[in-house]
Structure 1
Amino acid sequence: MSCFQCSLCHQPLSLHDACYRCVGQHSFDLAKDGYVNLLPVQFKHSKDPGDALLMMAVRCAFLDAGHYQPLRDRVIAAVAALTPEPGLRWLDIGCGEGYYIAALVDQLKHHQPQAEVYGMDIAKNAVRSAAKRYRQVRFCVASSQRLPFVDASLDGIMRIYAPSNPAELRRTLCPGGRAADGDSRPAPSLSA
């Protein structure tokens, strides 16, 4: 069972063949590149939300040149300081093309091979690109304002630049769950 929930009725989603389904019979196909689009058209505010292809290409070249390596290292160190437990489930909100999530996967899987890592972005092109590069991550297209995750299903959330909805962060984090922001300081537990 994944942590994903239906964007329409909020029931848990299960993977059947190449399709995520809920008990309400809503279904979301798993793309051949390995991601699922959980952003229904009625929740989009534009035809193609998120960053344009040219902007993504420029950002990829910039990041691959190592310009943000110190920030990435500090964020991942902050995640490591949160002392993850076995069975850990982490989400990267606004994962883009996967620059930060690649380091998160390396950190978590090194110490916790059973950890599950989820990447989410509103830009379908970014998620498609990340899913091609990082097959060990479960990627989805979704809005950070309406997280498509079951209540109390995530142990940690990493958010670098993406906007977020504090109520949604609290809803999806397990009791004692933690959030790590791009300022490299672990945030206090957001659960009640």
Structure 2
Amino acid sequence: MSLVREKRDIEWLVNWALEKQGVLRGAGGGEAGGGGPAWMTLGTVISGGGGGSDGRWMHDDAMVIGQELLAMAGDERLTGLMALVKRYGMTGTRPDWGAEGCGRYVLVRKRGGKATRRYADQRQARGLMGFEFAFEGSTMEEIEHHMIQYAGWWEALGALRDRINPLMRAYEATGPRAPEAPWDAPERVLHEVSNSVVGVR
């Protein structure tokens, strides 16, 4: 076997192992129905080869990734973060960090487009008191929660990279290529608060 390993981003490797190779497929809480971890039930390893389409064969490096995902998830300090790594690794996507910014209040409109009004006498539509508004989008608290989750997901990928690199034969994990703090980019200012008024730049 060649000593030169192919470099791949850690996100790519996790998605490859979980979605393409089928590592941990069907694992509930990391276990496969009554037996050991799901990746162990899927059969013999093909060194340097690809996983079979029937899910019974998988690459040895994919199994390494599965082993380390389970090991890290077994640490109660990392369980939630590894659940994020698995969730987004299965689909090849990234956590939402609130890129759309804060939501806003919008007028509630009736079917014909007319704004919904509030009256002192609602039945007779007399004595206008105000209008109905509804909040659409994410609150600042929700965005902060998403940002914290994204930061943890990013760090967990780096920790997984460091664990699998000494064990893999065909691949070398790099990255994560995903931005560490996408909200720090100048064009990504989510909102500013001035005199209790939330605006968007």
Bigger fraction of residues in helix? 2
Higher RCO (CA < 8 A, seq sep 6+): 2
* TM-score range relative to shorter protein: under 0.3
Higher Rg = 2
* TM-score computed with the length of structure 2 as normaliser: 0.23
